[in-house]
Amino acid sequence: DVKVTQSSRYLVKRTGEKVFLECVQDMDHENMFWYRQDPGLGLRLIYFSYDVKMKEKGDIPEGYSVSREKKERFSLILESASTNQTSMYLCASSYQGGNYGYTFGSGTRLTVV
Amino acid sequence: GENVEQHPSTLSVQEGDSAVIKCTYSDSASNYFPWYKQELGKGPQLIIDIRSNVGEKKDQRIAVTLNKTAKHFSLHITETQPEDSAVYFCAATLNFNKFYFGSGTKLNVKP
Instruction: Show residues of chain B in contact with A94, CB under 8 Å.
Output: 96-97
Cα–Cα dist B111/B62, whole Å:
19
Contact yes or no for A102 and B32 at CB 8 A:
no
User: What is the nearest CA distance from B68 to chain A, expressed in angstroms?
Assistant: 19
Whether the per-residue pLDDT at A1 is higher than 70: the answer is: no
Taking an 8 Å cut-off on Cβ atoms, the answer to whether B44 and A104 are in contact is yes
Residue A96 distance to chain B (closest CA, Å) = 6
Phi, psi dihedrals of residue A84, rounded to the nearest 5°: -75, 0
pLDDT digits (tens, 9 = 90+) for A38-91: 988 889 999 999 999 899 999 899 999 999 999 999 999 999 999 999 999 999
Name, of A8-17, A94-103, B38-47, the range with top average pLDDT.
A8-17
Asked if the C-beta of B47 comes within 8 angstroms of chain A's C-beta atoms, the answer is no
Task: Tell me the per-residue pLDDT of B23-65, one tens digit each, with 9 for 90 and over.
Answer: 999 999 999 999 999 998 889 999 999 998 889 999 999 999 9
Neighbour-count burial for A71-82, b at 16+ CB within 10 Å, e otherwise: ebbbbbebeebe
